[in-house]
Every structure is written in structure tokens, then in C-alpha cells.
Structure 1
Amino acid sequence: MRIVQLIDSLEAGGAERMAVNFANALSEKIAFSGILATRKEGVLKQEIKHINTYTFLGRKNKFDINAIFLASKYIKTNKVEIVHAHSSSYFFGVLVKLFNPKIKLIWHDHYGNRAEDNKQKNVLKICSFFFSKILTVNDELRVWSLKNLNCKYVFFIPNFSDLKKSEEKTILKGENKKRIVCLANLKNPKNHLTLINAFIASGIYKENWTLHLIGKDFNDAYSNNLKAIIKENELENSIFIYNACQDIQFILSQSEIGVLSSTYEGFPVTLLEYAQAKLTVVSTNVGYCKFLINHNSNGLLFDPLDSDNLSNHLLYLMNNPEICANFATQFQKDIELNYSKEAIIHKYLNLIN
């Protein structure tokens, strides 16, 4: 089997990380596994296991004929049979299929808010005529695709984590065993405001707890607002913004609690990475999060619009370190049992076949 992953960029994000994860994992299982980035490169490029199977297409517009030509050349040279398009790269995938009709095009939907967002829905419906199969990151998306798109082969397949040891560069500020981390780009719908407000309301910074925000800083109104709130509350020595980082495993090894506060999610890879690093997890209860976390058994769930709820959870964990440690151990066990790389890749190859 010869498969290439198609993704619009290699910046740090859930869909982007899964494209790289699939490319790397499949390289151990099939005859050829590659990856194409259409519009933009990024920090995840350095995580591609076999860089000689990677090509950047430099796509400048929707119908960039040079990018289509490069992709077609790559497909023919490497005898690619299946193009696995992630998220918004489906449109380019369809263009490539028009020039290479023998390939099978699989679309992988990672967008947790698909049902509520009408943007380009008609374009997606037309493009879905060209999909051989659709993969979704939760069952709600699977049901939506079956009802709304023109492809009858739709399957839910979970994400998996594949964090690799990397160069240890990012030293987190603050006191050991008292660090809370949030892996999420600084943008909607990641809902950092609720997290910061909850951290402030909890008062745990008075006990030397610190909050560390790891993710792309676009230096826009969203991030400027967060920085202003931190400054207004004189918490520059308690809340830290680091921008995008590559050494995620090392960052998580320095942390105690991992928080995800998004207002919507599909299947967050972040939670799997928290589990792999054995962090205690506090998560929003949207998307597939509520199926990964059994509240009060292996972590805590909260309403993403209720900062008081989150604030109380942070206080509870600070005051109960033994429970905190038990949650972390159980969450790691649960994720390893149900969402290991081996299990997911085995399921994926069965679905593809």
C-alpha cells in the first residue's frame, strides 16, 4: 500500500500533528508513506521521520496549477495509490484527483464545530462526490457526514499520540510540582480567557502555582487581550506565554497539571499528549473530551463557559495532591489501553483495505 498524507500547513495544530503522526506511523507498516504540505511549512516539519518522503508544494491560490503539477509529479514518482487529505486540504485533494483519476481520495475531518459552521458547506458537499471514504475524529462528525455529504463510507477513527523525545530547550519558569500547562494556539476557540480568569479567581498563584501557555502567538487582538489581563492583575510572574515550541515532551515533563479549555473540539490530541506525559488533566466537556475523561475517576471536566467551575477544580487539585496523582496514573493507563498508536493504525489499515 502506498499512501500520502495531505495537509495545508505544518504549524502546530491537531490536524497537522495527526497528519505527521499518520505519516510516521505508517512508514513502519506499508510500502510507502509520505506527506505533502500545500500552503505553509512550520515547526512540525522537524518531526517528520523520513524527510525524503516530504514535499512542500508552495500553493499560492486555490487553483495553483504549479502546486497541482508538483503534487501529480510526486504521486507518479512514488506510485501513490491513496491520498489522505486532512481537514481543509480536501479541496486541493479533489483538484489533484481530477489530474490523477486512478488515486483514491480519503478525507479526514478534524473540525469539531462542523455542524454549526456553514462556511463552504456547499463546496464540501460537491467535493464529497470524489471521496472514496471519510474518516472522522468523533461519532457526531460521522453522523453529520452520513447525513450531509455524498459519500456512504464514513468511519470514526480515534486520534493517537506519538510524542518523541526532542532537544530540551524550553525551561519553564516557576516552582517544580506547581506548574499548570495549556497546549493550545492563542486563538478562538481555545478559550484562554476562561482559563486565565479561573486561575486568577482560584488564588492558587498565592501558593506559587504558575500557568504556562504554550502555542502559536499571532500577536493579534486575542493575545493582546490576554496579555493586558495578565498585566492588569500584576501576574507577569505567575502566568507565562511561550509561543509555539517544538520540545513538547520536555515541556510536559516539567508540568503537573494539563488544562484544555476550548469551547469546541473534535478529538484533541493535546489530551493524549497530557496522558503520555502522565499529567493530571482538567478538560472542557465538549467534543470527544467527555469520552476520554471519566469525571472524578481519571480527571476533571468543566463547562468551558464557567470559569468558577474550572477555578474550583484547580483549588481541589491543589489541596488534594494524592488524588491529583491518582487521576494522572489512571488517565495514562486508560489512554494506553484504548488509544495506542498500534491499535489505531491497525484499525486504520483495516478501514482503508
Structure 2
Amino acid sequence: MVDTLEMGGTERMSINIAAVMAEKGYQSHLIVSRRTGGMSAHIPNAVQVHFLNKKAFYDFAAFIRLTQLKKKYQPNILHAHSTSIYWAVALKIISGKFLLVWHDHFGLSDQLDKFPRKEMLPLLRWTDKIICVNDKLSTYWKSLLPKRKKDIATIKNFPFLIMGSKSERGLFTFLHLANFRSQKNHMNLLEATKILAQKRNDFKILMVGEFVEESIKEQVIATINTDDLQDLVEVHGPENEVSAILNSCQAGILSSDSEGLPVALLEYGLAGLPVVCTDVGDCSKVISSSELGILVSPKDPVALAEGMNTIISDAQKAKSMGEKLKAKIFKEYGGEGFFQKYVSLLQVL
């Protein structure tokens, strides 16, 4: 019998949790719904991976493959990430006898008034536990499910990377590690780049992420070409060697309009990078003082450009920020802390 079955493709946290469970000696499997993605290279050998090759929401053949996996491995726990909960609930209705955990990563936690997601409520009656990446989400679900408060917990995201040695690029490079989707606001960063370029051109922006919304990628590339930013901005797709990319850059940056708790921010810290980040979601809990990084208001490219300029101009201050943030990430956002809270919530392992 399998201890844990992660269902959530190759997004960072599904991989990270599967890796930690395997590291702790539990039999850990990962179900990939649609595609492998750029993070697939980071799945440890101890984690068994299964591909559903799902082509659409109503892909009956893929769902049959899921039921066959459940029958074969008989998991104690099915841990469903984000929208994977739909199929996880269907599986439980058809052939239950496992603990169903839903992990809510909702990136628009700052805009729950606009996106209340009450359509999730019928699904959640089939879940046993709900894990939220920040307190805003936990508070929200507890308000809608007052009789189930004990089943809902905030457990912070955590990074899980093996960092190699530094091999920095010659030109000062900011890494923007974010999938190409609207909430990440790549255009905000491009506007800040244009503003900073009026003062200096001794820097580069490296955009790395999955092309989740093709229209966003096309808009970014068109803007780079229209505004002659080709020498300042590089666009990459998903990157297999995230550790190597982190080690090659001098700073991390996030220009999002909304976040839960971005794993990219934790990974920047793990790599000891100084950070410029918009003040959204739980970013201010990570960057809790000016000694740990620079927080700016969302949708403010001028402030973002000023923060970037500060990082480039003051090497000593930037180095100190990176070192202090790294120490905080190791202390407060490690996999061990997640595991202990996870076990406490489930009380079944």
C-alpha cells in the first residue's frame, strides 16, 4: 500500500512534498496530469511518477488510468493540488477509502472578494483536510466552513533544491522565475526595465517560466521588440536546471499583482540572492524587514525600477540582504517544518 499519492502535475510544491515524503521513508508517488513541465528534472528517483496524459477535463481514458493507479497502489493519502481536486473528488466518490487532502495554492488570495470560488464548496465536503499556503486563504475557508475549522490549516510553502556552486553571469542579471500568466505581471517588469534603462544599461533581466498563457508570452516578446529591449531582456521557457539558473544570477525579482506564497521567492532566498519583490500575498512575511530585501507596491514600475537600481548600485548591501534572507529561509521555511505540521494535521502517518 502506498503512503502518499501526489496529484498535481509538476508544479513545484507537488514535487517538493513528494520529495520530502520519500526522504522521510514513506512510499511516495506523483501523478502528472497533462505534461512533464520544466520541473520534471527535479523529481527525485525515490518518487515514482505516473503520467495520465490528460488532454481535456472530460478525458475519460485519462480518468480510467487514474482509477487503475488507485486500484493498483491503494494509497493511504491522496494529496490533490489546486484544480486537481475535481478529479480527486470524482475518484473518491467512485472508489474512496483514502484520506483526501486538498492543497489550495490560489494565487489571487489578495482578491478573494472578486474570486470567491464558492463553486468549490460542494467539492470540499468530500475532502478530509484542507491545506492553505497563507492565512488569508485559511481564514476564508474557515469562514465558509465554520464546522470544519480543525480540518483547515495554513502550512507554508517550502523550497526543495540542491544548490551547487556559483557560476555567475558577467552582466548583473535579475532572475524573474514566474510562469507566463497575467497575475505575474511581466509587463510591469518590462516597464520598470525601460525606466531603469534611462539611467543605466549594465544589467539584464532573465524571464524563466512555463508559457501557461500564450497571449502573455506573445505580449512580452512583442513589447521587447517594439521597445528595443532585446539587449536587456531574455525570455526562456521552463528551465530544467533551476539550481543552475539561480546560481548564475545576481538577484531575484517578482513583479506580481497577486500571490499566495511564491515558491520562487523562497528559492531566491535559498540561493542567497538579494530580492526586489512586489508587496502581495505573504511576500511581506518573507521580506519582513528592509534588511531582507526590497518590497514595492504592485503595479508601480517606477518603484520597481528604483529597487532594482538600489540592488545594482550597492553591492555590499545587496550581499547582506541575500545572506540574511538565506538564513531566514533555512530557519523558517524548510521541508522539516512542513512535514511536522503536515503530520500533526493528518494524525495518520
Paired with 1:281 and 1:335, the residues of 2 have a C-alpha distance of 13
2:301 equivalent in structure 1: 307
2:31 equivalent in structure 1: 36
2:338 equivalent in structure 1: 344
1:175 equivalent in structure 2: 170
Q: 1:219 to 1:135 in 2, by over 3 A?
A: closer
Percent identity over the alignment is: 26
- Correspondence list, 1:219-234, <5 A: 220-234=214-228
| Cα displacement string for residues 90-149 of structure 1 (whole angstroms, at most 9, x for unaligned residues) | 010001101222111110000032524548x34311001001010000000001111224
Deviation at 1:69, TM superposition (A): 3.1
- Correspondence list, 1:120-135, <5 A: 121-135=117-131
Paired with 2:84 and 2:148, the residues of 1 have a C-alpha distance of 17
Residues matched between the structures, number: 342
Deviation at 1:186, TM superposition (A): 2.0
- Residue aligned with 1:189, SS: helix
1:247 equivalent in structure 2: 241
| Cα displacement string for residues 76-96 of structure 1 (whole angstroms, at most 9, x for unaligned residues) | 322311111000000100011
Deviation at 1:222, TM superposition (A): 2.3
Paired with 1:62 and 1:122, the residues of 2 have a C-alpha distance of 20
2:322 equivalent in structure 1: 328
Q: 1:85 to 1:218 in 2, by over 3 A?
A: closer
Q: Could you tell me the TM-score, scaled by structure 1's length?
A: 0.89
1:2 equivalent in structure 2: 3
Paired with 2:3 and 2:305, the residues of 1 have a C-alpha distance of 49
For residue 23 of structure 1, the aligned residue among 18, 34, 54 is 18
| Cα displacement string for residues 249-284 of structure 1 (whole angstroms, at most 9, x for unaligned residues) | 111111111001110001100011101111001111
Deviation at 1:207, TM superposition (A): 4.3
1:138 equivalent in structure 2: 134
- Residue aligned with 1:179, SS: strand
1:137 corresponds to which letter in structure 2? Answer: V
1:69 equivalent in structure 2: 64
- Residue aligned with 1:99, SS: helix
Paired with 2:65 and 2:211, the residues of 1 have a C-alpha distance of 31
2:272 equivalent in structure 1: 278
1:251 corresponds to which letter in structure 2? Answer: I
Paired with 2:59 and 2:211, the residues of 1 have a C-alpha distance of 29
Deviation at 1:61, TM superposition (A): 4.1
2:154 equivalent in structure 1: 156
Paired with 1:71 and 1:255, the residues of 2 have a C-alpha distance of 40
The unaligned stretches of length 5 or more in structure 1 are 11-15
- Residue aligned with 1:40, SS: coil
Q: 1:322 to 1:31 in 2, by over 3 A?
A: closer
- Residue aligned with 2:275, SS: strand
Deviation at 1:65, TM superposition (A): 4.0
Paired with 2:35 and 2:301, the residues of 1 have a C-alpha distance of 35
Q: 1:77 to 1:223 in 2, by over 3 A?
A: closer
Paired with 1:218 and 1:31, the residues of 2 have a C-alpha distance of 32
Deviation at 1:231, TM superposition (A): 2.3
2:255 equivalent in structure 1: 261
| Cα displacement string for residues 197-246 of structure 1 (whole angstroms, at most 9, x for unaligned residues) | 11221237734211111112468432233223322332211211122211
- Correspondence list, 1:287-298, <5 A: 287-298=281-292
Paired with 2:38 and 2:332, the residues of 1 have a C-alpha distance of 28
- Residue aligned with 2:235, SS: strand
Contact 1:129 1:151 in 2 (8 A): no
- Residue aligned with 1:43, SS: coil
The unaligned stretches of length 5 or more in structure 2 are none
- Residue aligned with 1:259, SS: strand
Q: 1:117 to 1:101 in 2, by over 3 A?
A: farther
| Cα displacement string for residues 281-337 of structure 1 (whole angstroms, at most 9, x for unaligned residues) | 111110010100024111010111111111111122222111111111100011111
| Cα displacement string for residues 44-76 of structure 1 (whole angstroms, at most 9, x for unaligned residues) | 333221377221123344454433332233223
Moved more, 318-327 or 57-66: 57-66
For residue 100 of structure 2, the aligned residue among 105, 118, 123 is 105
- Residue aligned with 2:34, SS: strand
Paired with 1:219 and 1:92, the residues of 2 have a C-alpha distance of 23
TM-align CA RMSD? 2.4
Paired with 2:52 and 2:191, the residues of 1 have a C-alpha distance of 42
Contact 2:28 2:46 in 1 (8 A): no
Paired with 2:61 and 2:272, the residues of 1 have a C-alpha distance of 45
Paired with 1:98 and 1:217, the residues of 2 have a C-alpha distance of 33
Moved more, 282-291 or 121-130: 121-130
1:56 equivalent in structure 2: 51
